[in-house]
Chains A and B, each alone.
Chain A
Amino acid sequence: MDFNFTQDENNFRKEIKDWLSKNLSQRISNKVKKFQRLDKNDYEEFMKALSAKGWLAVNWPKEHGGTGWSNTQKHIFEEEIVKAGAPRIVPFGLNMLGPVLMEFGNEKQKKYYLPRILNCDDWWAQGYSEPGSGSDLASLRTKAVDHGDHYIVNGQKTWTTLGQFANKIFCLVKTDTNCKPQNGISFLLIDIDSPGIEVRPIITLDGEHEVNEVWLKDVKVPKENLLGEENKGWTYAKYLLTHERTGIAGVPNSKSAINHLKVIANKTYKNGKPLIQDPLFSSQIAELEIDLKAMEIFNLRAISSAESGKAPVMESSLLKIKGSIIRQKTSDLLRKAIGPQALPYISEQFDEGWNQETIGPEYAGPLAKQYFIYRKISIYGGSNEIQKNIVAKSEFRM
């Protein structure tokens, strides 16, 4: 056993840190740290800077313009961008579509789409979930009917994250309804500008617009936009789940959230003493910190076994579950740490440039809102219950 990063890895971390300090604008990191709303340009400014440096496609092999980094390097990179307060790298094109294109796309598609993802020319959205198909994704009903050289697509997609910024959407659609649901699904690449597509906002419980509904009415999609083979879409969709998902536990995010929690617990008071000195409250923080430290090691164990070629499928599911519990628990304690200061809700506070006085300390504003929206973590990306089904099926063989 060796818990230390190598000298090369430490140098790598320093290189990332130095670059971020020069190339991530203060304006954007301030917005991220204050939980302010990011617009399309904020995301793209950072992603284009990474792209110019050659660091955007961390999960891609070098031949396609990726970094070719090891899992450990990716982990270090993820840690540093979270620490620096960078916006998240929008994953739909880079981490979801990209690997599927590389594995199953034809040469023409790869040549056209991959560089456009890499250069931030396209913003992809994910068209998986439907109103009637959440955990039971294969039951989806959006239909693509064969019209010779094109399909006509009708249906509705939902929970389309940042779809308001997208110009493209990859969709799972039904191309055969006379078979087992999984065997009649195809994977289509669709222009959001196509006639018949409408993107409507969904406002989530925190009052924010991040996700959307996408309505498709008689949308014409050329056959050349079919990825891989017709009716094999389920295989492609599942491919992503077995693909490396080292970041799934959200260790860097939880680390910075717990640090934030400790800072706040030092600034708020109970019985005239900083809350962090209250045995009841500090015990809850400490227990969380112990769980997080253990999960960090668990995550590194999974990374290191992935490095030796073993796909950490079971570990990914376990880490997703534990990671969501820890992140939610942290947001729960953050909300509790500020007591009644959690109540005020001034939506404008989360707009860039808002400079009025906050009610209570500035850090209090987003905490209740964050708590509520973080309930999503155990629901999205395969709910925790679905993850448990996956583990039971693969590990228990029952």
Chain B
Amino acid sequence: MHFNLSEERKMLKESCDRLLNDHYTQYKNHHEVSSSEIGFNKNFWEECSEIGMLSALISPNFNGLGGTGEDIMIVFELIGKHLVVEPFLSSGILSITSLTNSKDIETSVLDEISSASKIYAFGHSEVDTRYDETHIKTKANYKNDAVFLTGQKSFVLNGDFADKLICTARFSGNDFDQNGFGLYEIDKTHCDIRSYNTIDGYRAAELNFSEIPAKELCKNSDAYNALLETLYAGAFALSAESIGAMEVCFNMTLEYLKTREQFGKPIGSFQALQHRMVDVMIEIEQAKSAVMLAAGTYEADKDTKYKNISAAKNLVGRAGKLVAEECIQLHGGIAMTWEYNLHNYAKRLVMIDHLMGDSDHHLEKFKLYSNY
């Protein structure tokens, strides 16, 4: 038993961290990036691709260089640390996982993603889906050899600038059935798109479409399995991202406690604040441990994998909220400003709990997979 990274993975981590340190200007520009025309920095996205940060998310079976739980954890912890708004979740983990779990996918499709030549987005949520896994109202209509989609998809990350969209749609059964839906690829030029910024500095879109041509990727139990894999991959990546962001919040707060003086001494000398910092520290270590376990069992049987990801996402949701709230409180007034960078991290930590299932959702799933 050991918890160290292999030499190769240490190198991956170091080179990604270096690139992000040197080239990523997240600070004041965080919301400027998402307010730009495409919602992220395309040059930087290409640089990430060049150093293999995208290939690290793809299994060697699909011409990638990684794709294991550990690889995903490393990349996404750094994304959290540097608050990267580029489409690592949408065109990265969600699209990659849904495609590699579809049938007869050609490796060249994944190459388009890893080389940053095409941006993909993944659309599953609808306006009242909340976190339900199979609540799908968008219709797929098969006519002869072709299929056409009608409906709407909500909160589609990078849905406005993506070249390709993967979405879920139902061709039979009730709104909640596990059967009777498929994964389809559609072209965004056929969609009515309303794009917007998110409160944590990302870009998302509402998509409306009617009887537009689509390409089937998989359906029925294949689609259900691919969807679960995708949602869990996203939940896992976000959990790892949260760890990176929590650590930054903690360090910023610690630094502030040492330098900010009131009553003639650093506020960090007050026991009431020290003890709260230790509580925060404990929960970060706990969350980190849960994410490591999820990473270590990412390749295990599905029940174990999903159980541990749900545990991690639940814990990260609780810990992330604690870290965000406590770090703001321990800072005091300065943390309420737009100018001071903490709010970007705090917002991301809290909003991560609004993506791919919140802590309540994953507590229920944990019970399901633990046979309560």
> A residues near B, CB below 8 A?
1-6, 9, 72, 276-277, 282-283, 285-287, 289-291, 293-298, 300-301, 304-305, 315, 318, 321-322, 385, 387-389, 391-392, 395-398
How far does the alpha carbon of A387 sit from the alpha carbon of B282 in the complex, in Å? 12
How far does the alpha carbon of A300 sit from the alpha carbon of B293 in the complex, in Å? 11
Binary A-proximity of B97-127 (CB < 8 A = 1, otherwise 0): 0000000000000000000000000000000
Binary A-proximity of B293-327 (CB < 8 A = 1, otherwise 0): 10111000000000010010011000000000000
Cβ-based interface call for B271 (8 A): yes
* In the complex, chain A residues whose CB is within 8 Å of the CB of B363: 283, 286-287, 290
How far does the alpha carbon of A290 sit from the alpha carbon of B372 in the complex, in Å? 13
Q: How far is the CB of B282 from chain A (nearest CB, A)?
A: 5
- Central interface residue in A1, A318, A321, by most chain B CB within 10 Å: A1
Question: Is A286's CB under 8 angstroms from B278's CB?
Answer: no
Question: Is A391's CB under 8 angstroms from B281's CB?
Answer: yes
* In the complex, chain A residues whose CB is within 8 Å of the CB of B70: 1
Q: Is the interface of B mostly helix, strand, loop or mixed?
A: helix
Cβ-based interface call for B146 (8 A): no
Binary A-proximity of B1-22 (CB < 8 A = 1, otherwise 0): 1111100000000000000000
Partner of A392, one of B278, B308, B311: B278
* In the complex, chain A residues whose CB is within 8 Å of the CB of B279: 388
Cβ-based interface call for B215 (8 A): no
- Given A286-B363, A290-B311, the answer on whether A304 and B274 have CB atoms closer than 8 Å is no
Partner of B289, one of A72, A294, A387, A388: A294
Cβ-based interface call for B36 (8 A): no
In chain B between 41 and 64, which residues have their CB closer than 8 angstroms to a CB of chain A? none
Q: How far is the CB of A108 from chain B (nearest CB, A)?
A: 41
Question: Is B286's CB under 8 angstroms from A286's CB?
Answer: no
- Given A290-B315, A301-B289, A396-B257, the answer on whether A283 and B367 have CB atoms closer than 8 Å is yes
* In the complex, chain B residues whose CB is within 8 Å of the CB of A286: 363, 366-367, 370, 372
Partner of B293, one of A3, A287, A389, A396: A3
Cβ-based interface call for B245 (8 A): no
* In the complex, chain A residues whose CB is within 8 Å of the CB of B257: 396, 398
* In the complex, chain B residues whose CB is within 8 Å of the CB of A385: 275
Cβ-based interface call for B174 (8 A): no
Partner of A294, one of B1, B286, B372: B286
* In the complex, chain A residues whose CB is within 8 Å of the CB of B311: 290, 293-294
Q: How far is the CB of A124 from chain B (nearest CB, A)?
A: 32
Question: Is B290's CB under 8 angstroms from A297's CB?
Answer: yes
Residue of B whose beta carbon sits closest to that of A3: B296
How far does the alpha carbon of A290 sit from the alpha carbon of B258 in the complex, in Å? 33
* In the complex, chain A residues whose CB is within 8 Å of the CB of B285: 298, 315, 318
* In the complex, chain B residues whose CB is within 8 Å of the CB of A285: 372
Partner of B2, one of A1, A291, A296, A389: A1
Question: Is B372's CB under 8 angstroms from A301's CB?
Answer: no
Q: How far is the CB of A221 from chain B (nearest CB, A)?
A: 38
Cβ-based interface call for B156 (8 A): no
* In the complex, chain A residues whose CB is within 8 Å of the CB of B65: none
Question: Is B268's CB under 8 angstroms from A321's CB?
Answer: no
Q: How far is the CB of B301 from chain A (nearest CB, A)?
A: 14
- Given A283-B363, A295-B289, the answer on whether A321 and B278 have CB atoms closer than 8 Å is yes
Question: Is A398's CB under 8 angstroms from B274's CB?
Answer: yes
Cβ-based interface call for B233 (8 A): no
Question: Is B274's CB under 8 angstroms from A1's CB?
Answer: no
Given contacts A3-B297, A289-B366, 20 further A-B contacts (CB under 8 A): A1-B296, A2-B1, A3-B296, A287-B363, A290-B363, A291-B286, A293-B293, A293-B311, A294-B287, A294-B293, A294-B311, A297-B293, A298-B285, A298-B289, A301-B289, A318-B278, A391-B278, A392-B275, A396-B257, A396-B274
Question: Is A290's CB under 8 angstroms from B367's CB?
Answer: no
Residue of A whose beta carbon sits closest to that of B274: A392
Question: Is B372's CB under 8 angstroms from A276's CB?
Answer: yes
Q: How far is the CB of B113 from chain A (nearest CB, A)?
A: 26
* In the complex, chain B residues whose CB is within 8 Å of the CB of A2: 1-2, 296
How far does the alpha carbon of A282 sit from the alpha carbon of B363 in the complex, in Å? 10
Partner of A389, one of B4, B274, B289, B296: B274
Partner of B315, one of A291, A315, A318: A291
* In the complex, chain A residues whose CB is within 8 Å of the CB of B254: 396
Binary A-proximity of B329-372 (CB < 8 A = 1, otherwise 0): 00000000000000000000000000000000001101100101
Partner of B4, one of A1, A4, A289, A297: A1
Q: Could you list 6 A-B pairs, sorted by A, with CB under 8 Å?
A: A1-B70, A3-B297, A283-B364, A298-B288, A301-B3, A391-B278
Residue of A whose beta carbon sits closest to that of B372: A282
Cβ-based interface call for B277 (8 A): yes
Q: How far is the CB of A70 from chain B (nearest CB, A)?
A: 11
- Given A1-B295, A282-B372, A398-B269, the answer on whether A318 and B290 have CB atoms closer than 8 Å is no
* In the complex, chain B residues whose CB is within 8 Å of the CB of A3: 1, 293, 296-297
* In the complex, chain B residues whose CB is within 8 Å of the CB of A387: 278
* In the complex, chain B residues whose CB is within 8 Å of the CB of A290: 290, 311, 314-315, 363, 366
- Central interface residue in A286, A289, A315, A388, by most chain B CB within 10 Å: A286
How far does the alpha carbon of A305 sit from the alpha carbon of B364 in the complex, in Å? 34
Question: Is B372's CB under 8 angstroms from A389's CB?
Answer: no
* In the complex, chain A residues whose CB is within 8 Å of the CB of B287: 294
Residue of A whose beta carbon sits closest to that of B366: A286
Partner of A388, one of B278, B292, B314, B372: B278
* In the complex, chain A residues whose CB is within 8 Å of the CB of B290: 290, 293-294, 297
- Given A276-B372, A282-B367, the answer on whether A389 and B271 have CB atoms closer than 8 Å is yes
Question: Is B286's CB under 8 angstroms from A298's CB?
Answer: yes
Partner of B266, one of A276, A291, A398: A398
Partner of A322, one of B282, B292, B372: B282
In the complex, the 7 A-B pairs of residues with the closest C-beta atoms, listed nearest first: A297-B289, A392-B274, A398-B268, A294-B290, A298-B289, A3-B296, A388-B278
* In the complex, chain B residues whose CB is within 8 Å of the CB of A396: 254, 257-258, 268, 274, 277
* In the complex, chain B residues whose CB is within 8 Å of the CB of A296: 289
How far does the alpha carbon of A294 sit from the alpha carbon of B314 in the complex, in Å? 11
Question: Is A388's CB under 8 angstroms from B274's CB?
Answer: yes
